[in-house]
Structure 1
Amino acid sequence: MATNSAVLPGAGAGGISSTGGASPSATTPRRGTRFQRGPLRWAILALALLVAFAMMIPFVIMLLNAFKSPADYAANGPVSLPSSLYFDGLVNFWTRVNFPEKLVNSIWISGAVAIGATLVSLLNAYALGIGRIRGRMWIVGAFLLANMLPQEALIYPLYYLAKQVGLYNNQWSVIIIFTVIQSAFGTYLLSSVLSTFPPSVLEAAALDGASKWQVLWRVVFPISRPTLSVLVIFFFIWTWNEFFIPLVMLIDNATQTIPVALASLQGDRMMDAPTINAGSLISLLPAVIFFFIFQRTLTRGITAGAVK
């Protein structure tokens, strides 16, 4: 005999059903309510604001000194407000280091590394995460170990190798080096993500007669696109800020990047502190603009994507 499980009239969302049991919404409290409205939430928000404020202090000081004259800087110090806006520091840095040329160099190197390292990471992770080749864990561990090595330990072999193959003082040497370095991290991350790839999707593609290459570009790549986009952004910003290896590999002024050109001014007697702060501000703007353009991509989860 069928059981009448309809809610009695007047019971509402928190009423009693005809079976005599209480509604789940009436007996089960909402999980996390006390944490969302309790003092812990406000304490975490206050701590986050304090950390953000502490991180913004150097940028505020840099902004103040970028528009301050050398005389004002010497008289009032670095933490005072500028008595008048001084734009000669920006002009001097722009013309002295040939900033447009350095900007093109940095964009070219960072963009090439971001795309190349992401592509290499995808190919490696496809073989390790989905292909399940023999010795997978040892290979992933080797990539993790390589990612932990400091650049100072690699610079002499890289310098000697670049000399031997004729790539010293060539931007391609920096692109190749950072593509390999960044792809070590990308391979380690993507291999973990692709190891949880839904087998049903791969089986359906195999039943349709798709080859491994077609599975990679028509199945794995579209679903993993959010993760790959995050890697491209990370690789671009990381390469943009690199200093040590470009300093060693690029000795010609025409091939240098923005961080190297900015550091070269610190020993120049004609460059004062406000000019260096103005140069730092100009050098920071392209990376900040790039970040704000792609900030919505960064908000997506590493495992974002839908199985269709």
Structure 2
Amino acid sequence: MSVTATPTGTPVTAPPPGRPARARDRHHRGAGRWIVLAVVTVGALLMLVPFAFMLLNAFKPPGQYSTEGPLSWPSEFYTEGLRAYWTQVDFPLKLWNSTLIAGSVAVLAVVVSLLNAYALGIGRVRGRLWIVGLFLLANMLPQESLVYPLYYFAKEVGLYNTRLVVIIIFTVIQSAFGTYLLASVLGTFPRGLLEAAALDGAGTWTVLWRVVLPNVRPTLAVLLVFFFIWTWNEFLIPLVMLIDNQTQTIPVALASLQGDRLMDAPTTNAGALISLVPAIVFFLIFQRTLSRGITVGAEK
């Protein structure tokens, strides 16, 4: 270890050769880091318990489930539940409906959120704080309070039992959250960039697409992933709006497997398992985009 002096004469202790100060700091914080890692690992394992039970009972015969319960190990590899669910609910059609609705909502909600937030965060429209507060209030409304007005609206305009009405509804709902988030982000957008673009003769749309969009693209990617997953998992509004087998989504199809007095538990678990796969695949594909967007947002 060596001691050097700054121009002001203050001695500074330098780390020994071959041992950076950052590595030494990590070593000193090792115990706390391991504790945090252990807690996170235990929490992750607890969250995986329901998925383990679902996987266990998806391939268990109905007779064994009735006599031995959900905790028993399957006596045979039972696949009739998967086949029954695939054919009974017409899973390829339900997969297409869910993908179409969730994908359309994700893209449209991101576009609407960006346009709204651009006007509120950078355009500085009059009454901006009140409008942002209104969007925040809209996010707090439970869907149960919106069902009847939305049902009446769909009936009046002739869109009831169509995928389009669900896309419109969730585009508005998701964009309310997206507008609130992006308006806060764009409210702190560097004014120097905007002034430089204005001096170069850039108009409103040019500033949006050439200056603002490249800087908020990671945040938009995160919103796109969240909007897709949130819409994919929605149940109440699609249950009310989509009553035809040709328009229903995967969560509604899962609910149709349960009767008043009888439930085929292996088929239900198999259906839940196969219905979970597309969402997991989508998340794994965009996992890097999601982590990159969160990291970039943290750095900014």
Q: TM-score, normalised by structure 1?
A: 0.89
Give the Cα–Cα distance (whole angstroms) in 2 for the partners of residues 18 and 282 of structure 1.
Answer: 65
Q: 1:198 to 1:14 in 2, by over 3 A?
A: farther
Which of 94, 109, 112 aligns to 1:117? It is 109
Contact 1:105 1:257 in 2 (8 A): yes
Q: Deviations over 1:251-276 (max 9, x none)?
A: 00100000001001111778510010
Q: 1:137 to 1:32 in 2, by over 3 A?
A: farther
Query: SS state of the match for residue 176, structure 1?
Result: helix
Query: SS state of the match for residue 83, structure 1?
Result: coil
Give the Cα–Cα distance (whole angstroms) in 1 for the partners of residues 244 and 84 of structure 2.
Answer: 20
Structure number with higher helix proportion: 2
Query: Which residue does the alignment assign to 1:75?
Result: 67
Q: 1:156 to 1:37 in 2, by over 3 A?
A: same
Give the Cα–Cα distance (whole angstroms) in 2 for the partners of residues 303 and 142 of structure 1.
Answer: 29
Query: Which residue does the alignment assign to 2:120?
Result: 128
Contact 2:161 2:244 in 1 (8 A): yes
Contact 2:57 2:70 in 1 (8 A): yes
Aligned structure 1 segments of 4 or more residues deviating by more than 6 angstroms: 29-32
Instruction: Indicate whether 1:42 and 2:34 are aligned.
Output: yes
Give the Cα–Cα distance (whole angstroms) in 2 for the partners of residues 36 and 160 of structure 1.
Answer: 63
Q: Deviations over 1:212-237 (max 9, x none)?
A: 01110111111111110110000000
Give the Cα–Cα distance (whole angstroms) in 2 for the partners of residues 298 and 68 of structure 1.
Answer: 36
Contact 1:193 1:303 in 2 (8 A): no
Contact 2:56 2:74 in 1 (8 A): yes
Query: Which residue does the alignment assign to 2:3?
Result: 15
Query: Which residue does the alignment assign to 2:271?
Result: 279
Q: TM-score, normalised by structure 2?
A: 0.91
Q: Which has the larger radius of gyration?
A: 1
Contact 1:227 1:302 in 2 (8 A): yes
1:196-211 aligned within 5 A: 196-211=188-203
Q: Deviations over 1:148-185 (max 9, x none)?
A: 00000011111001100001111111100000000000
Give the Cα–Cα distance (whole angstroms) in 2 for the partners of residues 291 and 67 of structure 1.
Answer: 25
Give the Cα–Cα distance (whole angstroms) in 2 for the partners of residues 39 and 304 of structure 1.
Answer: 28
Give the Cα–Cα distance (whole angstroms) in 1 for the partners of residues 161 and 61 of structure 2.
Answer: 36
Residue 301 of structure 1: CA displacement?
3.9
1:167-182 aligned within 5 A: 167-182=159-174
Give the Cα–Cα distance (whole angstroms) in 2 for the partners of residues 230 and 203 of structure 1.
Answer: 28
Contact 1:242 1:259 in 2 (8 A): yes
Query: Which residue does the alignment assign to 1:94?
Result: 86
Deviates more, 1:31-40 or 1:276-285: 31-40
Write the letter of the residue equivalent to 1:287: A
Residue 72 of structure 1: CA displacement?
2.1
Which of 134, 153, 166 aligns to 1:142? It is 134
Give the Cα–Cα distance (whole angstroms) in 2 for the partners of residues 158 and 36 of structure 1.
Answer: 58
Q: 1:24 to 1:212 in 2, by over 3 A?
A: farther
Unmatched 5+ residue regions in structure 2?
A: 16-20
Instruction: Indicate whether 1:263 and 2:255 are aligned.
Output: yes
Residue 14 of structure 1: CA displacement?
3.2
Unmatched 5+ residue regions in structure 1?
A: 1-12
Residue 48 of structure 1: CA displacement?
1.1
1:152-171 aligned within 5 A: 152-171=144-163
Query: SS state of the match for residue 89, structure 1?
Result: helix
Identity of aligned residues (%): 67
Which of 163, 180, 190 aligns to 1:188? It is 180
Write the letter of the residue equivalent to 2:189: F
